[in-house]
Structure 1
Amino acid sequence: MKTHLLIDGDVIAFSSAAAAQMVVHDRESGWMTHQANATVGEAIVENALWTLKMGLKADSFEVIITDPEDNWRRSVDDTYKRNRTGERPMLLGYLKDYLREKHGAYFWPGLEADDVLSVKMTCPGKTCGSRACRLGPGCPECDAPSVRFICVGRDKDFKTIPGLHHTWKSDVSSSGVYQVREVSQWEADRFHMIQTLAGDAVDGFAGCPGLGMKRAAEVIDNPVILVPERAVKTRGVNKGEETVKWVSEPTRDYWAAIVSQYRKAGKTEADALVSARLARLLRHGEYDPETEELTLWTPEKLRGVGA
């Protein structure tokens, strides 16, 4: 069976650009400046791609990058990733162009590299981009059972993509063996729900106030609907005052469980939906690369999850 790698070019370019950059101190003038050699950056990129191909015993690979001009998530929340104001490595743009010219790296309009990887990984034949692939499982032009696809990158959002994964610079044993993990459909859906509650500070969306990753995981692994009930305080200086007590009711309706957490925190279902859409990578059938039409995630997709 042949092995084909789907590589996140953003992380390759960023890491290589950072590695090629150095601080140069001119002792005579006292100035310290950042400098980077383009040839060195290119060599680091080539080494990264070569070691991935050799380490994972791949027959081929393709490199995907993020659309530099547009991002569909900003139509959901215009503050998405606006918190990323730090300085970028000098060669970042140059190395992305290098990946496009030398290795055919590409992007789909409006999408992040993560989304393209997710759409392709969840395509029945992993050949998303052709009209045939949208016909679904069993299409003779799309089905590719003899190819093993591995998603390569470092973003934690990849945990929402079912399939085989290799985390660059992490999934290597002490003896130098390149490891491959499998994310099941349930694991992918579970992580999406956890992220919907916990948010993502790196990407700039908060999730449900008061819930971190640990507590969010507990909510998803033991889902309950929180129901408000009126009660009267029976002790303390505010004895006799009315209050609201949140009572837990077991459920298998994950969306209802998520929404109830938001409501308890003073938020709405609409707030939960925004977080869910920001946290969710697109999957097969949710983006058409020819028409550039995109289908946003809806709670109905959680029906039957975990059953």
Structure 2
Amino acid sequence: MLLIDSDFLAYKAAQACEIGIDFGEDVIIAQSQFSEVLKVFHNELNKVTKAMMEDNFILYFSSTKNFRKKIYPDYKGHRMKRKPLGYKRLVNYCRENHNFKLIEGLEADDTIGIEATRFADPSNIIVSPDKDMRQIPSTLWNLTDDVTEITKDDGDRWHLIQSLSGDPTDGYSGCPGIGVKRATELLNKNENKWEAVCKAYRDRGLSDDDALLNARLAKILRNEDYDHDRNQPILWTPN
């Protein structure tokens, strides 16, 4: 079964079909044909299923609400608000015509992470170009490289690396002056990984609370990070 991060595929399809028409003076409008959006989307989907030689899949989409904004209102605040024409209609089409999954308040990454660890199956493959998915113990294909096997230790380590390096595309900065390479070096040198993260923040005039906030923003949910009875995430806490 392919667990497909479909935000990316849908956005790519809708964006590819949007064109601008300049009427001169002060009038420029955007236009799209939904039939073309569908065609591009299905072409992209077919590329994935053929590459993985698997016809069974679930399409995962993000909720318009995001629990991370409750703990950090600026999360993804810099991104353009408007989706390409046809995007929302495409999401509704997928909801009605495909095996579709969306959990209110969660990003597609989180829903995939929860289900991949709740219903662990070695035949499942996560399909996503998002480097965040390297946190999830699974088989992962990022649409370009070879399929990768990720262990729990691999995923835990990548989470702490992202807690230090941050993610500008998601709008959280991490620890100033620390990228992926430096974060990896710091974790390699220290047996107490979380203390190493906190010390890096303290060394730069920040606090353990700053480290924890970034770790919670970086964390992609697994099954143990979600309260299924209350339908809400459990914020990450270091052991």
Please state how far the C-alpha of 1:50 moved relative to its aligned partner: 2.1
What is the DSSP-based 3-state SS (H/G/I as helix, E as strand, rest coil) of the residue aligned with 1:148? Answer: coil
Alignment-derived partner of residue 157 in structure 1 = 132
Q: Deviations over 1:194-213 (max 9, x none)?
A: 11111111111111122122
Are 1:119 and 2:94 matched, yes or no? no
Alignment-derived partner of residue 13 in structure 2 = 16
Q: How does 1:38-117 map to 2 (within 5 A)?
A: 38-68=34-64, 70-85=65-80, 87-117=82-112
Are 1:265 and 2:204 matched, yes or no? yes
Alpha-carbon distance in 2 for matches of 1:266, 1:255: 17
Alpha-carbon distance in 2 for matches of 1:115, 1:56: 22
User: Aligned AA for 2:85?
Assistant: M
Could you say which structure has the higher strand fraction? 1
User: Aligned AA for 2:60?
Assistant: I
Alpha-carbon distance in 2 for matches of 1:151, 1:5: 6
Contact 2:57–2:99 (CA under 8 A) maintained in structure 1: no
Are 1:292 and 2:231 matched, yes or no? yes
Please state how far the C-alpha of 1:46 moved relative to its aligned partner: 1.4
What is the DSSP-based 3-state SS (H/G/I as helix, E as strand, rest coil) of the residue aligned with 2:223? Answer: coil
Q: Deviations over 1:163-204 (max 9, x none)?
A: 111113x23xxxxxxx42212222212211111111111111
Question: Residue 37 of structure 1 is aligned with which of 33, 38, 45?
Answer: 33
- Cα distance 1:289–1:103, how it changes in 2: closer, same or farther (>3 A)? farther
Choose 1 or 2 for highest CA Rg: 1
Could you tell which deviates more after superposition, 269-278 or 184-193? 184-193
Q: How does 1:159-238 map to 2 (within 5 A)?
A: 159-168=134-143, 170-171=144-145, 179-223=146-190
Structure 1: runs of 5+ lacking an equivalent:
127-143, 172-178, 224-251, 301-307
Q: Deviations over 1:2-28 (max 9, x none)?
A: xx00011211111111111123355x8
Alpha-carbon distance in 2 for matches of 1:52, 1:100: 19
Are 1:6 and 2:3 matched, yes or no? yes
Could you tell which deviates more after superposition, 253-262 or 208-217? 208-217
Please state how far the C-alpha of 1:216 moved relative to its aligned partner: 1.5
Could you tell which deviates more after superposition, 208-217 or 260-269? 208-217
Structure 2: runs of 5+ lacking an equivalent:
none
Could you say which structure has the higher helix fraction? 2
Contact 1:9–1:99 (CA under 8 A) maintained in structure 2: no
Aligned-residue Cα RMSD (Å) equals 2.0
Question: Residue 279 of structure 1 is aligned with which of 208, 213, 218?
Answer: 218
Alpha-carbon distance in 1 for matches of 2:53, 2:194: 41
Alpha-carbon distance in 2 for matches of 1:158, 1:121: 11
Contact 1:81–1:203 (CA under 8 A) maintained in structure 2: yes
Count matched residues. Answer: 239
Contact 1:196–1:207 (CA under 8 A) maintained in structure 2: yes
User: Aligned AA for 1:201?
Assistant: P
